Homo-oligomer: A and B are copies of this chain.
Amino acid sequence: MHHVFFWISIFMMYAVKGQGTSDYTQFVNPRIGTSKMGHVYPGATVPFGMVQVSPQTNFIPMFHEDGTYNKATYDYCAGYQYSDTSILGFAHTNFSGTGHSDLGDLLIMPTCGTLDLSKRNEMQDHGHASSFSHTTELAKPGYYQVMLEQHGIKAEMTATERVGFHRYHFPTSDDANLLLDLVYNVYHHKDKNVWTFLRIENDSTITGYRQTNGWARDRKVFFTIHFSQPIVHYGYQRYDKNHYKGFYRRFNEARDFPEMAGKELRVWFKFKTQANKPLMVKVALSSVSTEGARLNLSTELPHWRFDEVVEEARLRWNAELEKIKVETMDSSDKVSFYTALYHTNLSPILYEDVDGKYRGLDQNIHVSDGFTNYTTFSLWDTYRALHPLFNLVQQERNNDMIKSMLAHQSQSVHRMLPIWSHYANENWCMIGYHAASVLADAVVKKVGDFDREKALLACTSTANVPYFEGIGPYLRYRYVPDDMSHSSVSKTLEYAYDDWCIAQIAQHVGKDSLRQQFSERSTYYRNVYDGTSGFMRPKMSSGKFRTDFDPMDTHGQGFIEGNAWNYGLYVPHDIPDMVHMMGGKKRMTEHLDSLFTMEIADKYIEKNEDITRDGILGNYVHGNEPSHHIPYLFNWTGRPDKTQKTVRIILNEMYSPEIDGLCGNDDAGQMSAWYVFSALGFYPVTPGSTTYALGSPIVVRAELPLPNHKTLVISTKNQSPANVYVKEVRWNGKVLKTPFVDHNELVQGGTLEFLMNDKPNHY
């Protein structure tokens, strides 16, 4: 029932403010996807902002003796689960939708009365935590509000790009606290903290840093914090033994001593508060230094006008959201659409100070010369649709992101482009070297001014690192032998695709021998196809296919986050060849039909921590990326109608404007980017080519202002929930003969018109 209250309150607020339909932030609900496996956070940030200030709910990591963790830990990649009933505080860094955890820096919690900080372990009761109710929560782009019931404190937060801004309405009290919890972390291992350092610079300014060894193993977050009122007293509770080790222990470090350092500190600040005068806190981050954070703070947020910052954040969000103006069949689709679009603007994030300085992969301080630096590249996910979406609506940022990746490569001791990188670290998550795809997609789509030759060299360097993930054997055997590297089939398929992307760049740059070399490598997918079983199948270095093979199993069968049935369809760069190899269009249609309708036994689901029954359609797993292109494959088997129907099912069933509206990890925006593209009626099945596969739009109409002052219009005729089929598509009035459309034509501006009806058609 509280959903209703939420919408009433948000609509009322907008009504009061007099914002009309040109305010697209009203259609965003940041709480969508915050339950179950969505892994998004409800807190406040600006588009691609460096700070994400968001509530952390009662995360109870159950560590086993050996340091491993129970499944529940995985639920808290973004620090928040909707089903929880208490808040630990508000952290300043959060991933959006990732399938792995880190961050959660600088937890701030306001409390009243005596603080009991004696217990370190998060498994214990948190004396400082507070119960909360979702009825008091208000989450909108750039703003979050909640009532902390335990303490009678209304908490509000907003953000600029590099500064989190809090406003706490305390009761009148001589015993009000702000807790800065530097022990708290989002991660699934104990002992993540490496070091913390903190200085009370004056009665209202704190500086410091924390270094962690988490998913990123050498990560430093520097900060400067300002309070709107003077601190009366302060102190800390430490949980390690790193006191000053000089001859004598001279000071009472635990109280009113302005310098703190150690591994595990919780710091408290005592204030006198008045009910009519909220206590405000500004927290600026930097990857460089406390001086960098200070500069970010003084540049971005030199004042205390909270409401003004909320409004600025809204305007920033609106400026991004209005890049795609849609009309929908009903308001819930609009919420789904704009919430998805919102999710696609949460990462990669800005990662530099206002003066352009940032920490590089080599841990040196660099200056972004001629670009803006970004981090958090979940590339195995985001190369598929998120970066292609950026090539449509965030060209400038994507150019900067690519330059950031090239800078990463030049700083990499491996001379590799990012695989999965965040905060000046490579975490090596997942497989492939899909930065190549992002670069190729931008090259063929003529996006950005990054150096194409440098991009090619960065790709070829990356693709030839012999010790990386079976690359050596891949080059020697022309496939990744299953006895030499895990996930051998997935790797072979993805390397082949990435190599094709590199060939596209080589062609563009005019390096023919490289083009030939990588085109040749791009055919290696054929080497893991087993004609006998009809599946891509793990092959040994002996040249024989592995004998124990279960094409339904996602574990230990040569695939990762997928099985031979679905992941085995991954040859995006030569789908006709794949269709031919696998027995032709009819057989492929049957394979796909089976895929979408077959039953998966529970045993295959249970093993998987990040898919739920909600996210699957037969053996199609929308919650995991290797399937994302599959609904569109019917376009290549002569049955685009099946694509249209399937896409509409997925749009309707696997996304909803509800708290549990995401059927799997949003994966740094990839799931949402799939929604945005598919809702508009097309999808980039093959990033690195300019071709979009057409599907079935769910919008009634969309307008995309283009950088060249032209507009791309997507319009539909006879759009309705029942009319999921496309009878005809016209581009600027001309009927399309195939279910494909070219990006470089679309961005010249014009109208893509879908004629919808309720029966399958062949066009």
User: Does A596 make an interface contact (CB < 8 A)?
Assistant: no
- Is the CB of A428 closer than 8 A to any CB of chain B? yes
- Tell yes or no: A256 within 8 A of B by CB: yes
Q: Which of A436-473 contact B (CB under 8 A)?
A: 467-469
Closest to A211 in B: B195
Cα distance A483–B100 when bound, in Å?
55
Contact of A241 with B by CB under 8 A: yes
A195 touches B197 (CB 8 A): no
Indicate with 1 or 0, residue by residue over A405-441, a CB within 8 angstroms of chain B CB atoms. 0000000011000001000000111100000000000
CA gap between A413 and B200 in the complex, in Å: 7
Q: Which residue of B lies closest to A187 (CB)?
A: B245
Q: Are B248 and A486 in contact (CB under 8 A)?
A: yes
CB pair A429–B246 under 8 Å, yes or no, is yes
Shortest CB-to-CB span from A479 to chain B, Å, is 18
Closest B residue to A195 by beta carbon equals B194
Across-interface contacts of A467 in B (CB, < 8 A): 251, 256-257
Q: When the two chains form their complex, are residues B413 and A201 in contact, meaning their CB atoms are under 8 A apart?
A: yes
Interface residues of A in 97-155 (CB under 8 A from B): 100
A218–B260 CA distance with the chains assembled, in angstroms: 10
Query: A242 touching B213 by the CB < 8 A rule?
Result: yes
CA distance A245 to B215 in the complex (A): 6
Chain A interface size, as a band, is 35 or more
Partner of A244 from the list B194, B247, B428 (CB cut-off 8 Å) is: B428
CB-based contact A363/B290 at 8 Å: yes
Write the nearest CB–CB distance from A417 to chain B, whole angstroms.
15
Q: Are B364's CB and A199's CB within 8 A?
A: no
Taking the complex as formed, is A396 at the interface, i.e. its CB lies under 8 A from any CB of chain B?
Answer: no
Since A217-B245, A251-B467 are in contact, a sample of 14 more A-B pairs with Cβ atoms closer than 8 Å, ordered by chain A residue number, is A100-B247, A200-B413, A211-B211, A213-B245, A215-B246, A244-B428, A246-B420, A246-B428, A248-B486, A256-B467, A289-B364, A289-B365, A291-B362, A291-B365
Which residues of A are interface residues toward B (Cβ below 8 A)? Answer: 67, 100, 189, 194-195, 197, 199-201, 207, 209, 211, 213-215, 217-218, 241-242, 244-248, 250-251, 256-259, 261, 289-291, 362-365, 413-414, 420, 427-430, 467-469, 486
Residue pairs across A and B with Cβ atoms less than 8 A apart, 24 shown, are A189-B245, A194-B195, A195-B211, A199-B362, A199-B413, A209-B363, A213-B261, A215-B246, A217-B244, A217-B245, A246-B427, A247-B430, A248-B486, A250-B428, A250-B468, A251-B428, A256-B467, A259-B413, A259-B414, A289-B363, A289-B364, A289-B365, A290-B363, A291-B362
